[in-house]
Amino acid sequence: EVQLVQSGAEVKQPGQSLKISCEVSGYSFSTYWIAWVRQMPGKGLEWVGTIYPGDSDTRYSPSFQGQVTISADKSISTASLQWSSLKASDTALYYCARGLNSGRLFDYWGQGTLVTVSS
Amino acid sequence: EIVLTQSPGTLSLSPGESATLSCRASQTVSISYLAWYQQKPGQAPRLLIYGASTRATGIPDRFSGSGSGTDFTLTVSRLEPEDFADYYCQQYGSSLPTFGGGTKVEIK
């Protein structure tokens, strides 16, 4: 059974750093893309970026390029999304998802990680 | 960037009725790389349809997708209580995948 299990909710202050994770099981981690998708409170879905764990090929949405970093650790079948300096506008629910079609179609999703940035 | 516009914003229907959701793209979606997702409150999205008309694994046949080019439709026939949810279209034919703003299907 394919599963993507994300790390728990986070509450941070502006300017702090953060790394959230997505551990996968039930398939070969290295051979499928992993994407991150943002959902701001009460809003729709936005693609953040995608990584291919097999060779760490990473693509970002222009809206998120330079704002976040996506990484993957094959040894623990885990992908991560990180910020070096959070802003209040980063407050959102972040989903990881398995990606098909060069990581642009999402067939299995994690349960989401709520990130709250507030002073 | 391909902008997807979904209509209507909200659809109020009764169980047993059919729902027709529209997704219009600002430019042609290549190879009909158009997907539909369902999202219920407090849950992650679920892939329903890809390639404009192919149902994902385990999706009931009351869900059907159609369309090509810039105009796509999701039809849910004989609405079941569990079908009342938010629905998003998404194009994955360009290097920048984008989602529509969503349609809420609510119980009338």
Question: What pLDDT is attached to residue B30?
Answer: 86
Whether B48 shows a pLDDT value over 90: the answer reads: yes
Question: What pLDDT is attached to residue A85?
Answer: 97
Interface of A to B at Cβ within 8 Å reads 37, 44-47, 59, 61-62, 95, 97, 101, 104-107, 109-112
User: Is residue B61 within 8 Å of residue B73, measured between CB atoms?
Assistant: no
Whether B31 shows a pLDDT value over 90: the answer reads: no
Name the band, by pLDDT with cuts 50, 70 and 90, for residue A103: confident
The tens digit of pLDDT for each residue in A7-46 reads 999 999 999 999 999 999 999 999 999 999 999 999 999 9
For chain A, what is the largest distance between any 2 Cα atoms, rounded to a whole number of angstroms? 40
**What is the mean predicted confidence (pLDDT) over B23-42?**
95
Nearest-CB residue to B47 (from A45, A62, A107): A107
Task: Indicate yes or no: CB of B45 within 8 angstroms of CB of A109.
Answer: yes
Alpha-carbon distances, residue B32 vs A104, B19, B45, B91, B94 (angstroms):
13, 21, 21, 8, 11
B99 neighbourhood in chain A, CB within 8 Å = 44-47
